[in-house]
Amino acid sequence: MSRAVDRPLPSRVALISVHTSPLAQPGTGDAGGMNVYVWQTAQRMAARGIEVEIFTRATSSSDAPVVETVPGVLVRNVVAGPFEGLDKRDLPTQLCAFAAGVLRAEATQPRGYYDVVHSHYWLSGQVGWLARDRWGVPLVHTAHTLAAVKNQSVAAGDTPEPLLRQIGEQQVVDEADRLVVNTRTEADQLVSIHHADRDRVDIVTPGADLDTYSPGPGGRVRATLGLASDDVVVTFVGRIQPLKAPDVLLRAAAPLIAANPKVKVLIVGGPSGSGMDRPVALMDLAAELGIDHAVTFLPPRPPADLVNIYRASDLVAVPSYSESFGLVAVEAQAAGVPVVAADVGGLGVAVDDGRSGLLVPGHDIGNWTAAIGGLIADPDRRAAMGRAAAAHAQQFSWEQTAEDLLDSYAKAIQGFRGTVDPDRSGSGRRTRRLRRRRSEVRA
């Protein structure tokens, strides 16, 4: 992305992340790559002297209303609905309460307190749209995933995204001043599915914490987990849900384990939703396949521990049915581990096919067994891919992501200043061109 000359940088940014807190442990509940994205970019912007306030829904009575996580980053835990027991699909009923909490927080501050609003996921976009009009500042929106795209490849046992979400996404696309996507493919999807103005779309590639995720020895972790130095370890990291397809890895690994008892599988993560702490269904599948003796289930780990899990692995599998980018793939490669990933979404950007890992078309179990088995049988190729993976990952950093986001913010601020009605700017009303497109959304 080209750098704006004398770009107008914000002094304070409001980030909205309704359904998941950046302080939550990725890999459990609804916490995942979006948490990492919000948290990492907020820190990097704060390091540049930009104050960041993150609005998220409180999920515990013990959550303090305001938490300063690092200098320059505040997390505001907004009470909206019961603390526990709400699924992400229930949250649209709480958007009014959440929006009220956001607006009340701003109302206690001087006029013009925030310079830009950045919403993450469609639920947050609905709130950000209201805040934009109330505060008279531009709205930047990142969808992270799109319902229509997810519904094109629904995993067996999963539920399609509802029409409510598709309508909500269309509304946010029409209203946002800038739209941020991870890849050119996502930009094309916004244009083709939601008829977004391409000149309002900014491609900002996510990154990895390259200070944390780097190559290193994994022998100590192997010993802790009861793994031998000559075991061949294939690892899955992420939420245990049909979308992420950990079952594909287990089914693909079963014949490999039967042929070679040195093949082991690590599953690192927890089930999606609330009130669940063990991936019982996946454990049952491992037993049904007769490989439970070779599969180890681990709870989600913070980055300082997760990097050692990666280092202890020979391969990392990312068999998702849909990924807007695939942070696990980049983190694993940064740790020097080749990745076998589904050729979907942004994984084609995250993985350099044939060099830092392999992309597998579709989810045919035979194809996955062949891809993983081929690398298990060729340790020299694995080692070469591991070195290439570490080099490939160096192009993905959160510092660069934050820098590109600031370019998007600058464009939003410049564009917004040119369309504000000076007689009504206090109420947040604008004379921008009306974005009236078709009201229906393709089911």
Annotated binding-site ranges for 1D-myo-inositol 3-phosphate? 19, 30-35, 88, 121, 145, 165
Q: What are phi and psi of 310, to 5 degrees?
A: -60, -50
Q: For residue 165, what is the enclosing H or E element?
A: helix 163-175
Burial class (CB in 10 A: 0-12, 13-18, 19+), 385: buried
Q: Any residues with CB less than 8 A from the CB of 23 and at least 6 apart, and which?
A: 39, 67, 69, 75
Closest by CA to 328, choosing from 232, 213, 250, is 213
Q: What are phi and psi of 227, to 5 degrees?
A: -100, 140
Closest by CA to 88, choosing from 189, 156, 171, 17, is 17
Using the structure block, give the residue that is written with the tokens 């950000």: 128
Known binding-site residue numbers: 19, 25-26, 30-35, 88, 121, 145, 165, 239, 244, 301, 310-311, 313, 323, 331
Asked if 347 and 359 count as a contact pair (C-beta separation under 8 A), the reply is yes
The 3-class secondary structure across 341-406, one letter per residue, is: EECCCCHHHHCCECCCEEEECCCCHHHHHHHHHHHHCCHHHHHHHHHHHHHHHCCCEHHHHHHHHH
3-state secondary structure at position 126: helix
Q: How far is CA 264 from CA 116, 224, 351, 368, in A?
A: 48, 14, 23, 16
Token code pair at residue 163: 């029409």
Token code pair at residue 404: 């590109």
3-state secondary structure at position 47: helix
Token code pair at residue 74: 């505040």
| Spatial distance between the Cα atoms of 336 and 266, rounded to a whole number of angstroms | 17
Token code pair at residue 295: 């599969």
Asked if 106 and 3 count as a contact pair (C-beta separation under 8 A), the reply is no
Known binding-site residue numbers for UDP-N-acetyl-alpha-D-glucosamine: 25-26, 33, 239, 244, 301, 323, 331
For CA atoms 256, 257, 262, 267, give the dihedral sign.
Answer: positive
| Spatial distance between the Cα atoms of 138 and 116, rounded to a whole number of angstroms | 5
Known binding-site residue numbers for Mg(2+): 310-311, 313
Helix 122-135 and helix 163-175: axis angle, to 10°? 40
Asked if 332 and 389 count as a contact pair (C-beta separation under 8 A), the reply is yes
Query: From the CA atom positions of the chain, what is the Rg in Å?
Result: 22
- One-character DSSP codes across 215-229: ----HHHHHHTT--T
